[in-house]
Amino acid sequence: MTLLVIVHLYATDSDLSALRAFEAKIQPVLAAHGGVLQTAFTPSREIGSYTELPDEVHLLRFPSSAAFQAYRADPRHLDLAAERARVICKTEFLASAALVTYD
């Protein structure tokens, strides 16, 4: 069952170039587990209500929850943990396989 994951990323010192360089490195690991970065964007500060706005939002798709867990446990992912901690100071995510459609 497909798993969708919404990720809020907060860049250290709001350094988007460092965050994006890291994210480019992790994409092959994501793909190795069937993960797809559906879209990434910087939220608009002019639209919406927020108390703390992430620097970037990602929508990821995985073939299953097990694939997502395997991605997170992948040694290549874990090897990049120190670099990730330097460039991303906070991460929040929401995940669900219970997708809703409206006709």
Q: Is the pLDDT of residue 50 over 80?
A: no
Contacts of 47 (CB under 8 A, 6+ apart): none
**For the chain, what is the domain count?**
1
CATH number at residue 84: 3.30.70.100
Residues 100 and 12: their CA atoms lie apart, in Å, by: 34
Prediction pTM value: 0.89
Phi, psi for residue 75 in degrees, rounded to 5: -55, -35
Question: What are the pLDDT digits (tens) for 53-62?
Answer: 999 999 999 9
Residue 17 pLDDT: 96
Which domain covers residue 13, as residue numbers? 3-45+53-92
**Which pair of tokens denotes residue 59?**
């929508």
